[in-house]
Amino acid sequence: MIQKILVANRGEIAARVMRTAAGLGIRTVAVFSDPDAEAPFVAQANESVRLPGASPRETYLDADKVIAAALATGADAIHPGYGFLSENAGFARKCEQAGLTFIGPPASAIDAMGSKLTAKKLMADAGVPVLPSAEVDGDTDLAAVAAKIGFPVLVKAAFGGGGRGMRIVREEAGLADAVERATSEAASAFGDGTVFIERYLDAPRHIEVQIFGDTSGNVVSLFERECSIQRRYQKIIEESPSPAVDDKLRAQLGEAAVAAGKAIGYVGAGTVEFVMDQAGEFFFLEVNTRLQVEHPVTELVTGLDLVALQIRVAEGAPLPAEVTDATITGSAIEARLYAEDVPAGFLPSTGTLHVFEVPDGPGVRVDSGVRTGSVVSVHYDPMLAKVIAYGRDRAEAARRLATALADARVHGVTTNRDLLVAILRDDEFLAGRIDTGYLTRHDPAQLGAQPGGLDILRTHTVAAALAAEAGRRGRATVLPAVPSGWRNVPTQSQLVGYRLGVTVVEVGYRFGRDRLHVTVDGEPVDVRLHAASATTVDLELSGVRRLVTIRQVDGTSYVDSVLGSTALVETPRFPDPEAAEHTGSLRAPMPGSVLRVLVATGSAVRKGQPLLVLEAMKMEHTVAAPADGVLTEMSVSTGQQVDTGQVLAVVGDTD
């Protein structure tokens, strides 16, 4: 029987494993990097061990440090979570050699699936349908290989997952660059830059099957999950069951997945992933030899605790009847809440979470790795939480999940929340007409734009101005009951400007003898104020009464109401003339580190030419020249850390 588990991971999955372990009476140990010292999962564990450093390579990916921490604390088992060392066969063997139980499949199964190329051959031999592919390296004739497979192709990392190290290529011209960038990204994220080329299906469905095996050779299917809503090849909304799978197709998928599991002697929780065309024909994609991020949707529709089952199987127990006889009841949908700027191209967002509150009412589950006060850094994946909803049917689950996300209060970083809510309420999604091209057909920025934008902007800017006024009066030591700006003889309104993205709004307000006078951008607005404090405003605007909450931090007002959420930045009344910058200045679109500098100062550059590459949260971002000209200044160097908005380079006119 396992007595103490070291969780070799971080964030929400570390917290998730610890929660189940505690319920089973098992002690837990956390390992943490320097940026994670104050993370919630560290406090949740019974003991914790620091892994000095910040990058994954020197902390969570260092197998020797992790095993040493387990031995030092007397742990007898290690749960790897997902990502990091979870699919590292060498780590599984080291655990065994150290006398530690690895809560996952045997190293041989990880080896078999560690390389997606080896996995495809094994699956083909087991009778599972696969797509044509080929490994490539520096000596490969890329054009010949791609021509044989047929365009479009997908350049893909042979190891790892999560959408990193992947590029779609539709013609020969961009193939070499795609291979180079995918190789670099894969080496950075997974420690191995091996990539291969595979035939790419345009807009297929992404269907995966949860499998579970025990040490007696039994492998069962726990049904499918639909994971087609993706950005950058990474899932953001998952559900079970799939709206495209009927009983017959479910049986076929399950049979193929079980055959895949038995072919590699699978033990524990794993996932067999498929791509499926519109006709229902499916092809093997990969086997994830670990627990998946989206495992909660399977738990909600089957009533099983997959982490508890992992632990029991690792202890040698056979699959119980509730697993072998499992059925699907109802529907569950999961949304991944990321710290990222959708209109800016899903660029990661960092900062301090001044408020993090996601309601977990009836039928709603929140698996989170952060809390109010947590710092979102550049070092790791930008996922803040998984929000999962269960319903009697798919429509009810979608409605519950959309409402929970819409009512969340997340202050301090930009998130993809509005996009998630919009997808969950979209008619096409609700009708089940989804595939991996969904966010290609629908512009994410437009889809995630809040409906009723004018009402939101008017209500929230007026509320922010009135809350700020109430806060000043609340702090006043002289005549605190007199409204701010009050005069015996009314003259003009007080003015305050707010910026939301590129939109600037000016609010004017004046407290008269009989009522409050308000203008928005000079236009009178019918407002009746019922109550106001520095944090809450109860106001009636154009005949509709709403309660608005406001939290002000460093010049930004985070405003929430039933209409939605906005972060309003107060504009300075007298701008600093010294703040003007040189024309052609390129600012960092995100925090991160400079991975490569591609052009030397003084060089002529063309519009769109890559100048440097940034890396943050395991993803690469290229900064390109905005116009033809000369690179007059390169302000950063390789390896340097940069902040959002920092000037990276300046491109001047050719003359």
Q: What tokens does 212 get? A: 């579970």
Q: How far apart are CA 225 and CA 26, in angstroms?
A: 30
Q: Beta strand 77-79 with 4-7: parallel, antiparallel or unpaired?
A: parallel
User: Virtual CA dihedral for 224, 225, 229, 234, nearest 10 degrees?
Assistant: -110
SS3 113: helix
Cα-to-chain-centroid distance, residue 253: 28
Identify the three-state secondary structure at position 360.
coil
Give the phi and the psi of residue 432 in degrees, each rounded to 5.
80, 10
- Burial 217-247, CB ≥16 within 10 A → b, else e: ebbbbbbbbbbbbbbebbbbbbbbbbbbbee
Q: Residue 327: helix, strand or coil by DSSP?
A: coil
Cis before 152? omega within 30:
yes
Active site residue 290: yes
- In angstroms, rounded to a whole number, what is the distance separating the alpha carbons of residues 477 and 106? 70
Q: Which of 290, 394, 458, 473 is catalytic?
A: 290
Residue 223, sorted as left (phi over 0), alpha (psi -120 to 50) or beta, turns out to be left
Question: Any alpha helices (H) in 264-393, and if so which ranges?
Answer: 295-302, 306-314, 321-324
Rounded to 5°, the CA angle 490-491-494 comes to 100
Residues known to be catalytic = 290
